[in-house]
Amino acid sequence: MTTSTPLNPALTQWTGHEGLPRFDLVRDEDFAPAFDAAFREHEAEIDAIAGNPAAPTFENTIVALEIAGDGLSRVSSIFWNKAGADTNETIQALERDIAPKMSRHYSKIGMNAALFKRIDTLWQGRQALGFDLEATRVLERHWKGFVKSGAKLEKPEQERLAGINEKLAGIGAKFGQNVLADEKSWVLFLESEEQLAGLQDFLRDAMAAVAEDRGQKGKYAVTLSRSIIEPFLTFSDNRELREQAFRAWIARGENGGDTDNRGLIAEMLALRAEKAKLLGYENFASLKLDDTMAKTPAAVNGLLMQVWEKAVARAREEEAELARLIADEGRNHDVMPWDWRHYAEKLRAEKFNFSEGELKPYLQLEKIIEACFDVAKRLFGITATEKKGVAAYHPDVRVFEIRDPAGKLVALFLGDYFARPSKRSGAWMSSFQSQHKLKLKNGAEGELPIIYNVCNFAKPAEGKPALLSLDDARTLFHEFGHALHGMLSNVTYPSVSGTGVSRDFVELPSQLYEHWLTVPEILKRYAVHYQTGEPMPQALLDKVLAARTFNSGFATVEFTSSALVDMAYHTAEAIAEPMALEANKLNEIGMPRSIVMRHRSPHFLHVFSGDGYSAGYYSYMWSEVLDADAFAAFEETGNAFDPVMAARLKDNIYSVGGSVDPEDAYKAFRGKLPSPDAMLAKKGLAA
């Protein structure tokens, strides 16, 4: 594609509803020339800042950096959204090209000696210059970012670091595409009643809809989408089919051929270790943890092992109960990973006299979305109104206006809820535009946050409601908690807006928000039967609340083993064979044979599809320590929507982004930092 290709203004000039992009005017072939132009424009802006003959000031250096690259940000946000949520072969090929180009572009900026000299001058003189707290945080973020980009290295080391970053970007893109390819290519079609034995109507409906989408009307499709595979493993009475599906699920990225990720993992780990050494760190984990609450690998492993010992002990007790159920059925096999969910569901029915299948008719997607919005209104005073007919990036995506108590528009929110083959697995929040108050080159004063959530719930057949599991409903609340972090942001500078916080603090607003799903008055109002409209019976509600810690050993072992392997990868001296390290680490900590990691290495997207949660998967648990303690603050008042606590939560957690040190932010809300006790109690793992 030549640079003379006409540029599509829809990528950078957003003229849709309240400033949304006009997604309907964007074509795949528009991205390559738009990126080329945006790179050039941003480079010119950087050169102007670095070459400014005036003495460096916060305004002409830091603020100028904050608003530079607007065109690149806009093109990137649309492209990466499409790459994750609605990709195709053209986009994937471009992703493999753009990821290393993007890395090269930012490496060049990070190693710009004249630019760093200006930033360093401000940083060294910051005491005398009298910056306020937010400005100081922004300056520190830029200074540390440049240092970690190699600004202080000699030229040969800078060039090597840039090469490493570029290579890592390309590998990360390929890793994610390989997982998606394995997920898309595997499907198991079922027909006979013997094959469908045990499957509930809601699951049969979802599987039938998927099969029809794949040209197999009249059949039922098992896919590797979590919203299909997990309920199939839970309810299917056919052990042979459960094993077949489970083995395919955990083999994503490990099937040989072009989509095998094992070689990519080894290459990525070697490059990350080399990068850490170049920057003066003992290992990659030390580099990644330098600017977090945890600070060191020892602190992370200390928390993980404290929880691991309690979790594995509980899981052994749970396994013994499942083994009893298997024996009671006259079977003589051990509890294997493809058995756990199936027999745990039977154990839940025995212990609490209800099943996931009994619960699901009361958890309609539409009602859980309403519940999310209602909780936000009760806590923070905001309202959500859906705008029908507004074009988004896919027909399934819904657009909402978010307004404050005075009716002022404060954000746009897009909800993308259903699984499709063009979407990567999992659930996430991201933004097209972040909140800030700076004056832009186009004259605008600040920007409205445009936030989106992506989930992968099973899409129902035409005319039928989407029914969620309790885990699905928690996921929806979790991601909306992230969205609120972006939409309630009230800062001056873009780099510290919303979720621009340390990795082990970013999960606090999302995990905390999950707690309100199971507040009794919310469940009573929104957990209504999809056919009768009747609320969930009090007896069933009581059972759901009583069972909140059921199977917690299994869930905590699944997660903690993944986090421990992540840390092992990124603290090891040298790794010749990553899969051997995974196996050895699991053996060392005593991983039960009946459970597998929640994310085995070849499909561990958090850690290997980009740099986001590398040496950082632990952060979910670190934040869980905070969220359990934070919700306890509401419980102590006797009111889950206590207005005083809600105001403190908004002012000190949801609205400040990264403008305040996370420890200081938490202490301003709660008055103290927490211990793990509340988290362990929430999981039912307290001594």
Active site residues: 479
Residue whose C-alpha is closest to residue 99's, from 204, 156, 176, 159: 176
Output the DSSP codes for 254-292.
-SSGGG--HHHHHHHHHHHHHHHHHTT-SSHHHHHHTTS
Residues 6+ apart with CB under 8 A from 47: none
Distance in angstroms (rounded) separating the CA atoms of residues 251 and 257: 13
Within 10 angstroms of residue 424's Cβ, the number of other Cβ atoms is: 18
Task: Indicate the residue type of 540.
Answer: L
d(CA 504, CA 118): 30
Token reading at 383? 């309202």
Please give the backbone phi and psi of residue 239, each rounded to the nearest 5 degrees, phi first.
Answer: -65, -35
Grouping H, G, I as helix, E, B as strand and the rest as coil, residue 616 is coil
Q: Beta strand 409-418 with 450-457: parallel, antiparallel or unpaired?
A: parallel
* Non-local CB neighbours of 330 within 8 Å, separated by 6+ positions: none
Helix 70-85 vs helix 31-50: angle between axes, to the nearest 10 degrees?
A: 140
Which of 73, 95, 72, 74 is closest to 84 using CA atoms? 95
Q: Report the SS3 class of residue 410.
A: strand
Which residue shows structure tokens 């819904």? Answer: 398
- Cβ neighbours for 684, distance < 8 A, ≥ 6 positions apart: 314, 548, 549, 552
Evaluate whether 351 touches 547 at the Cβ level (below 8 Å). Answer: yes
11 to 43, 99, 318: CA distances (angstroms) = 18, 18, 53
**What one-letter code names the amino acid at 423?**
K
Nearest to 103 by CA among 167, 25, 8: 167
Query: In this structure, what is the dihedral angle of CA atoms 160, 165, 167, 171, given to the nearest 10 degrees?
Result: 160
Distance, C-alpha 182 to centroid of its chain: 20
- 660: DSSP letter: S
Between CA 382 and CA 405 the distance in angstroms is: 6
C-alpha to C-alpha distance for 382 and 394, rounded to whole angstroms: 26
Contacts of 672 (CB under 8 A, 6+ apart): none
- Asked if 494 and 66 touch (Cβ cutoff 8 Å), the reply is yes
Rounded Cα–Cα distance for residues 507 and 485 (Å): 10
Q: What is the DSSP letter of 195?
A: H
3-state secondary structure of 484: helix
